[in-house]
Amino acid sequence: MIKKVLIANRGEIAVRIIRACREMGIETVAVHSEVDREALHTQLADEAVCIGPAPSAQSYLNMEQIISATLVSGADAIHPGFGFLSENARFAALCEQCNITFIGPSSAVIERMGNKAEARNTMINAGVPVIPGGKEAVWDVEAGKEAAKEAGYPVMIKAALGGGGKGMRAAKKPEEFEKSFQTAQKEAKAAFGDGTMYVEHLVEHPRHIEFQILADHYGNVVHLGERDCSIQRNHQKLVEESPSEAISDQLRKQMGEAAVRAAKAAGYENAGTIEFLLEKDGSFYFMEMNTRIQVEHPVTEWVTGIDLIKEQLRIASRLPLSFSQEDIHFKGHAIECRINAENPAQNFRPSPGRITGMYLPGGEGVRIDTAIYSGYQVPAYYDSMLAKLIVYGKDRKEAIAKMCSALGEVIIEGIDTNVDYQYEIMNHPLYISGDIDIDFIEKMERASLETEPCFGR
């Protein structure tokens, strides 16, 4: 069994991992930037090591510093969390070279599944439905135009090595292609240092459905059901829930089996997510694979009763899965809202600063994953997410009511947050009805502009 884990991350996911390790008797090492000296994860871990100045490139993305901290502290494993280096094949390879257990898949799998064109070909060979698109990655506009013609307009232009919604632009007709391609490629180079692009058919008004999978080192692969992640703004998720209103038992079986085939075809190990686009007629297409734990993993934990972080640690310790697909049962409904330090009324302007006072809700079926506290200084250098508010109810109606109640109790003073905006989503007739797709936020904001944006209770 792994004895000591270094967490190569910060914020609520670092705190989440530390707590899971503590419950399993595993020692923890926190790494932190200079601005994060007083962060909660540094206070909860058994040890803390400063790895550089505030900017991510000099700290949480500094592979050499993180590897050095691991070796010096005597940790035998690294948990990358999500974001930062979690899907960086070079970092996973460095861990392998230094005989450090990387809590995730192998570097070869991360590299293969991180390349959208290669991932797509892997899925085609595994018999997993894929979105029509060009067969190869492209580097220039003219090659992109040919790929778009093959895929059929409208098309989506994507960074082949990207993620998180960066380096993506739609072109609904040929005359829009050149500008969209150049903008997406420029953004891809800035975000990932690589201008390799991929062009695929744009599936209009789908739901974003992802399936959680777990795979051990002995060929055992299971899925833990779906999460509906359709509520997103600029490709950034805001609300996630499980199960999805659009998924019947039969469709869940079909998509789950496709997700397991996808993981097996990739030679996957540990926790991962297979992401699909789902059309209203029940057709679904592989979009990408996330080779890490997801921000929204708590909703799956609540409806299955399985602790995904602990399972990651067990798998990385080379223990076999302790359950089969038949042992997994889904019960109730869970919803997660991301609470961000931003001002929705001012175009979601980030709102760093000191939290002068706060109160977070509790009670039956309410969970808060966070690293903030009263007096905490929210830095300007990192992602704006402050907390994840997760609720569980016997059905979707009860879960929505519980989320509205919990959001109404949240108090975070000193900075702006999107709590009222999340409350507006929960109370929107379309959301309540379950008739949602990835364009929901655009429709909601357009309707607000036509009347009067309230972003309030």
CATH of residue 77: 3.40.50.20
Q: Judge if 170 and 185 occupy the same domain.
A: yes
Helix axes 63-73, 89-97, angle to 10 degrees: 30
Q: Is residue 114 part of a domain?
A: no
Phi, psi of 289 (to 5 degrees): -120, 130
Give the domain extent around 197: 141-201
Q: Residue 421: helix, strand or coil by DSSP?
A: helix
CA–CA distance, 403 with 426 (Å, rounded to integer):
8
pLDDT of residue 160: 82
Using an 8 Å Cβ cutoff, are 342 and 385 in contact? no
Identify whether residues 238 and 368 lie together within a single domain.
yes
Instruction: Judge contact between 33 and 14, C-beta under 8 A.
Output: no
What tokens appear for 435 in the block?
């008739």
**Domain assignment present for 44:** yes
Distances (CA, A) of 76 to 46, 49, 70: 14, 15, 7
Number of Cβ atoms within 10 Å of the Cβ of 99: 8
Query: Does residue 116 lie within any of the structural domains?
Result: no
DSSP 274-327: EEEEE-TTS-EEEEEEE-S--TTHHHHHHHH---HHHHHHHHHTTPPPS--GGG
In a domain, 113, yes or no: no
Closest listed residue to residue 376, CA positions, set 393, 395, 361, 356 = 356
Nearest to 205 by CA among 430, 395, 448: 430
CB 114 within 8 A of CB 291: yes
Whole-angstrom distance, CA of residue 72 vs CA of residue 66: 10
Q: What is the pLDDT of residue 234?
A: 87
Total count of domains within the chain:
3
- Rounded Cα gap, residues 13 and 385, in angstroms: 11
For residues 70 and 154, state if they share a domain.
Answer: no
Contact assessment for residue 351 and residue 342, using Cβ atoms and an 8 Å cutoff: yes
The tokens describing 358, both together, are 């706060």
Q: Is residue 99 situated within a structural domain?
A: yes
Chosen domain end from 201, 219, 253: 201
Q: Does some domain include residue 126?
A: no
Which residue among the candidates 10, 227, 252, 292 is catalytic per the annotation?
A: 292
Q: What is the mean pLDDT of each run of 10 residues along the chain (457 residues)?
A: 97 98 98 98 98 97 98 98 96 98 98 86 93 84 94 91 79 96 92 88 94 98 98 94 97 98 97 96 93 98 98 98 97 98 96 98 98 98 97 98 98 98 96 96 81 44
- C-alpha span between 291 and 82 (Å, rounded): 9
Q: Are residues 43 and 145 in the same domain?
A: no
- Residue 210 near residue 274 (C-beta atoms within 8 A): yes
| In a shared domain, residues 284 and 381 | yes
Helix (H) / strand (E) containing 432? helix 429-433
The two three-digit tokens of residue 39, written as one number: 């962060």
Show which of 47, 81, 103 is a domain's final residue: 103
Q: Are residues 292 and 335 in the same domain?
A: yes
Neighbours of 380 (CB within 10 A): 13
Write out the two tokens for 301: 């934990």
Q: What CATH number should be reported for the domain holding residue 330?
A: 3.30.470.20
Verify that 237 and 99 share a domain, yes or no: no
Is 37 in the active site? no
Alpha helix stretches (DSSP H) within 127-248: 141-151, 174-192
Give the CATH number for residue 165: 3.30.1490.20
Instruction: Reply yes or no: is the peptide bond before residue 154 cis, omega within 30 of 0.
Output: yes
State how beta strands 333-340 and 411-413 pair. Answer: unpaired
Q: pLDDT at position 449, please?
A: 61
Helix axes 396-409, 419-426, angle to 10 degrees: 150
pLDDT for res 420: 97
Report the alpha-carbon distance of residue 304 to residue 227 in Å, rounded: 12
| pLDDT for residue 18 | 98
pLDDT of residue 315: 98
Contact partners, residue 187, CB within 8 Å, separation at least 6: 159, 166, 167
> What per-residue confidence (pLDDT) applies to 164?
63
Q: Which amino acid is at 362?
A: G
Q: What's residue 450's pLDDT?
A: 59
Same domain, 307 and 192: no
Read off the tokens for 235: 């490709």
CB 374 within 8 A of CB 398: no
* Strand locations in 47-151 (E): 47-52, 77-79, 101-102
192 and 211 in a single domain? The answer is no
Same domain, residue pair 50 and 181: no
In whole angstroms, what is the distance from residue 375 CA to residue 382 CA? 18
pLDDT of residue 453: 45
| CA 325/CA 68 separation, integer angstroms | 40
The C-alpha atoms of residue 114 and residue 160 are separated, in whole angstroms, by: 8
Q: Is residue 49 part of a domain?
A: yes
Q: Of the residues 55, 75, 103, which one is the last residue of a structural domain?
A: 103
User: Which one, of 193, 147, 149, 191, lies nearest residue 168 by Cα?
Assistant: 191
Please check whether residue 135 lies inside any domain of the structure. Answer: no
Residues 192 and 266 in one domain: no
Provide the pLDDT for residue 163: 65
231 with 319, same domain: the answer is: yes
